[in-house]
Structure 1
Amino acid sequence: MDTIAGLFSFITTPVSWIIVQFHTLYGAIFGADSGWAWGLSIVSLVVLIRICLIPLFVKQIKATRGMQALQPKMKAIQERYKNDKQRQSEEMMKLYKETGTNPLSSCLPILAQSPFFFALYHVLAAIANGKEIGYIDGPLLASARQAHIFGAPLAAKFTDSAEKVASLNASITDVRVVTAIMIILMSLSQFYTQRQLMQKNVDLSVKTPFMQQQKMLMYIFPVIFAVMGINFPVGVLVYWLTTNLWTMGQQMYVINQNPTPGSKAQDQYLTRLLKHVGSHGDVKGRSKKKIVAAIVAKGPDRNDNERKFIAALTKQGLAAQADGSVVKSVEATADADAASGGAAKRQQPKRQSKSQRHTPSKPSPKK
């Protein structure tokens, strides 16, 4: 780990400078030597990095949508070469190349923030060894070494010896309890993030190598973090737990507001949207109109969720427009009646009694 962190040493100076700036702010509130001042400085570093990565996250979402658009073609390749796995893989790679999509696009945010992660590790390792690094020198180094979070020094690790922990004015029990809890939370948040992606925001109608890869990562990543976590300083655990929580919240927002077509999340979203239309009589909000417009533009290529949504609108006598709005439609009402078997029945003549049928009707008076 130290060797990997050393490869990113070029970024330790700017990372240390950012931490020092945040520490100056929080130190004025909690005290310069407070663990909260240093801990919140690391949390703020995460927030700053993730805000800067939002454009990359948007690009990731678009790439994922591009993968979803290829699902029919991928399914066709699977069926055509179901007995030739090698040819199937070759055709899949050819399709990715032709359309400019990348099945590994979901890893981009992790790759982009990895230099900051290892730079922070390098900074905290230097603090633990009492070495000045970047902008953390002199009094700041001494302050950082004494900063504790719930009794555990920022620079301490689960694997540290009792003597090393004692040099940081802490007990080995406190360090191991705090790090163990943070490692468990870090692994659970990673697992939940990947699980909600697989269960709610993936089109399960088509099984692809990409989906199988994501399913494997759902179980592999938490195990990797749990194993590696025992070698992370408490400050790095704070960083990684914060970024996991950010990712989880960010993903929950995307799933609820812009779900993947064909997914369970889309079905739930369109159900909520239908209730929204029923309450307001139209689609309110730019994002909602954008989604309805996209469904209208698909025409016959709509998935089951989208067809069900359009059919439900039709039953209510409504029609979705190309701009995403919804209007009353007489034709839609007629179609709904026909579809539900509720077409207006012809009025049947009133049934006459037997005596009425045998009684001759009176002739109409002559004019």
Structure 2
Amino acid sequence: MDTIANFFSFITTPVSWVIVQFHKLFGAIFGPDTGWAWGLSIVSLVVLIRICLIPLFVKQIKATRNMQALQPKMKAIQERYKSDKQRQSEEMMKLYKETGTNPLSSCLPILAQSPFFFALYSVLSHIAEGKTIGVINQSLLDSARQAHIFGAPLAAKFTDSAEKVAALNASITDVRIVTAVMIVMMSASQFFTQRQLMMKNVDLSVKTPYMQQQKMLMYIFPVIFAVMGINFPVGVLVYWLTTNVWTMGQQMYVINQNPTPGSKAQDAYLQRLLKSITHRGEVRGRRRKNIVKIIVAKSSSDRNDNERRFFTGLAKAGFAPQADGTVVKSDTVTAEAEGAATARRQQPKRQTKAQRQAAAQQHAKDAEASDESADTVSDAPTAPSLEKKPQSSAKSAKTAGSQGQGDQPARPSRANSGGSRQGQAKSGQRKGQQRPKHPSSKK
């Protein structure tokens, strides 16, 4: 760690200067030698750095979403050119170029923070060793060594010996309790940040290996930070805990206000927007109008389930979205939505397997009863009646044939004679005319 910190020694002077300026401000309020003055100076350094990194954070969000959208195409390229790695890489680069996606953009905020992180680590290490660095002179050095946060010096570590901690006017128990609590909070904030990204802001309709990688990172990163945290000074733990909390809050705001299409966060956002439109009768805000405008510009097949539910809700409320992102009141849309809902409600429910079998058996029994009643009527020597009676199509055809053959008596059908010999057919057996056996076959 010290070797890496020395590599970024060129930025230690600007970092130490910023800390000293904030220390002057907070020292006038809380006292120059207090832990509040030095701790808040480190927190203010983090806030200043993260504000400067907001443009990179926006690029990170766009790059992450583009990578999620490109996962199906990337997977297809890997399957197509799995035996040719060079061609696979060329097609990947071509895809990135066509879509304007940079895979490294998702790492830009972390890479940009690294120099400041290691510079702060170098400053605190020099304070622990009693050495001046950057613009921190001897008087500021003595003040920083006296500063404690809940009894733990800024420059103390979890792995420090009791003698080294005693030289900083503290006890080893206080240092280890404070550092352990801060390490747990740092790891928990990292886990929660990654978890809310995976659970709320991921397109659930696309299942790709990228999602599995993000789930692995959700569990791996907190463990890495916990292992590395025991070697960080208290001041560095303050820095890293502050930046994790900032990231968590910043990401929560983005998820609530600009969610990924197809995610749970988008569904919640569109439902809030629908409620606002229904209550106010209009779309308020440029950003909300842009979101409605983007959804309207899509074709019905390109919209995801969340966007279709949003449009259905607007139609039921009597609003028609326009191409400019606004909505207008329309009674026709309400009538169409109610008619579609009624049509869906009138559709028959799907029957279970047992219900379908029972219905088939009942239909078979009704058919057999109809055939038997028709045979009884045809065999009885009664005068023909002008009243029409329901008969099966096959029986009607046979009756017509017998009338065309003169005075020959009508022969009973083979199916009826077979039915009289065998009785009612069991459920599951074939009914009607059976194929005769071959003379050479065994009985």
The alpha-carbon distance between structure 1 residues 73 and 331, as it changes in their structure 2 partners (threshold 3 A), is: farther
Residue 341 in 1 paired to residue 348 in 2? no
One-letter identity of the residue aligned with 1:132: T
Look up the match of 1:116.
Answer: 116
How much has 1:219 moved relative to structure 2? 1.0
Contact 1:315-1:337 at 8 Å conserved across structures: yes
How much has 1:211 moved relative to structure 2? 2.2
Residue 219 in 1 paired to residue 219 in 2? yes
Specify the structure having the higher radius of gyration (Cα).
2
The alpha-carbon distance between structure 1 residues 130 and 193, as it changes in their structure 2 partners (threshold 3 A), is: same
How much has 1:333 moved relative to structure 2? 2.1
One-letter identity of the residue aligned with 1:324: G
How much has 1:94 moved relative to structure 2? 4.3
One-letter identity of the residue aligned with 1:277: I
Contact 1:317-1:330 at 8 Å conserved across structures: yes
Matches within 5 A, 1:178-257: 178-257=178-257
Tell me, in whole angstroms, the C-alpha distance in 2 between the residues paired with 1:76 and 1:334.
44
The alpha-carbon distance between structure 1 residues 273 and 76, as it changes in their structure 2 partners (threshold 3 A), is: farther
Instruction: Calculate the TM-score normalised by the size of structure 1.
Output: 0.88
Matches within 5 A, 1:260-339: 260-300=260-300, 301-339=302-340
The alpha-carbon distance between structure 1 residues 70 and 310, as it changes in their structure 2 partners (threshold 3 A), is: farther
Tell me, in whole angstroms, the C-alpha distance in 2 between the residues paired with 1:11 and 1:39.
20
One-letter identity of the residue aligned with 1:238: V
How much has 1:285 moved relative to structure 2? 1.6
One-letter identity of the residue aligned with 1:119: A
Instruction: Calculate the TM-score normalised by the size of structure 2.
Output: 0.73
The alpha-carbon distance between structure 1 residues 315 and 85, as it changes in their structure 2 partners (threshold 3 A), is: farther
The alpha-carbon distance between structure 1 residues 77 and 331, as it changes in their structure 2 partners (threshold 3 A), is: farther
The alpha-carbon distance between structure 1 residues 6 and 59, as it changes in their structure 2 partners (threshold 3 A), is: same
How much has 1:242 moved relative to structure 2? 0.2
Contact 1:81-1:88 at 8 Å conserved across structures: no
The alpha-carbon distance between structure 1 residues 311 and 75, as it changes in their structure 2 partners (threshold 3 A), is: farther
Look up the match of 1:176.
Answer: 176
How much has 1:104 moved relative to structure 2? 4.2
Tell me, in whole angstroms, the C-alpha distance in 1 between the residues paired with 2:316 and 2:72.
29
Contact 1:270-1:309 at 8 Å conserved across structures: yes
Deviates more, 1:107-116 or 1:209-218: 209-218
Q: CA RMSD in A?
A: 2.2
One-letter identity of the residue aligned with 2:333: A
Contact 2:71-2:210 at 8 Å conserved across structures: no
| Alignment length (residue pairs) | 342
How much has 1:294 moved relative to structure 2? 1.2
**Which structure's relative contact order is higher, taking Cα pairs within 8 Å and 6+ residues apart?**
1
Tell me, in whole angstroms, the C-alpha distance in 1 between the residues paired with 2:42 and 2:7.
21
One-letter identity of the residue aligned with 2:65: R
SS in structure 2 of the partner of residue 319 of structure 1: strand
Look up the match of 2:165.
Answer: 165
Q: Which runs of 5+ in 2 are unaligned?
A: 345-443
Tell me, in whole angstroms, the C-alpha distance in 2 between the residues paired with 1:82 and 1:279.
54
SS in structure 2 of the partner of residue 299 of structure 1: coil
Contact 1:75-1:206 at 8 Å conserved across structures: no
How much has 1:192 moved relative to structure 2? 0.3
One-letter identity of the residue aligned with 2:255: I
Tell me, in whole angstroms, the C-alpha distance in 2 between the residues paired with 1:84 and 1:293.
44
Deviates more, 1:229-238 or 1:83-92: 83-92
How much has 1:241 moved relative to structure 2? 0.1
Contact 1:39-1:235 at 8 Å conserved across structures: yes
Deviates more, 1:166-175 or 1:276-285: 276-285
Residue 15 in 1 paired to residue 21 in 2? no
How much has 1:68 moved relative to structure 2? 4.3
One-letter identity of the residue aligned with 1:340: A
Tell me, in whole angstroms, the C-alpha distance in 2 between the residues paired with 1:63 and 1:234.
34
Contact 2:59-2:106 at 8 Å conserved across structures: no
Contact 1:195-1:218 at 8 Å conserved across structures: yes
The alpha-carbon distance between structure 1 residues 68 and 290, as it changes in their structure 2 partners (threshold 3 A), is: farther
How much has 1:51 moved relative to structure 2? 0.4
Point out 4+ residue stretches in structure 1 off by more than 4 angstroms.
Answer: 74-78, 80-94
How much has 1:209 moved relative to structure 2? 3.4
One-letter identity of the residue aligned with 1:13: T
Look up the match of 2:156.
Answer: 156
How much has 1:183 moved relative to structure 2? 0.2
Contact 2:152-2:170 at 8 Å conserved across structures: yes
Contact 1:68-1:260 at 8 Å conserved across structures: no
How much has 1:284 moved relative to structure 2? 1.3
Tell me, in whole angstroms, the C-alpha distance in 2 between the residues paired with 1:87 and 1:285.
48
Look up the match of 2:259.
Answer: 259
The alpha-carbon distance between structure 1 residues 76 and 283, as it changes in their structure 2 partners (threshold 3 A), is: farther
Deviates more, 1:169-178 or 1:279-288: 279-288
How much has 1:63 moved relative to structure 2? 2.1
The alpha-carbon distance between structure 1 residues 147 and 24, as it changes in their structure 2 partners (threshold 3 A), is: same
One-letter identity of the residue aligned with 1:302: R
How much has 1:97 moved relative to structure 2? 3.8
Contact 2:82-2:88 at 8 Å conserved across structures: no
Contact 2:43-2:238 at 8 Å conserved across structures: yes
How much has 1:92 moved relative to structure 2? 4.7
Identical aligned residues as a percent: 78
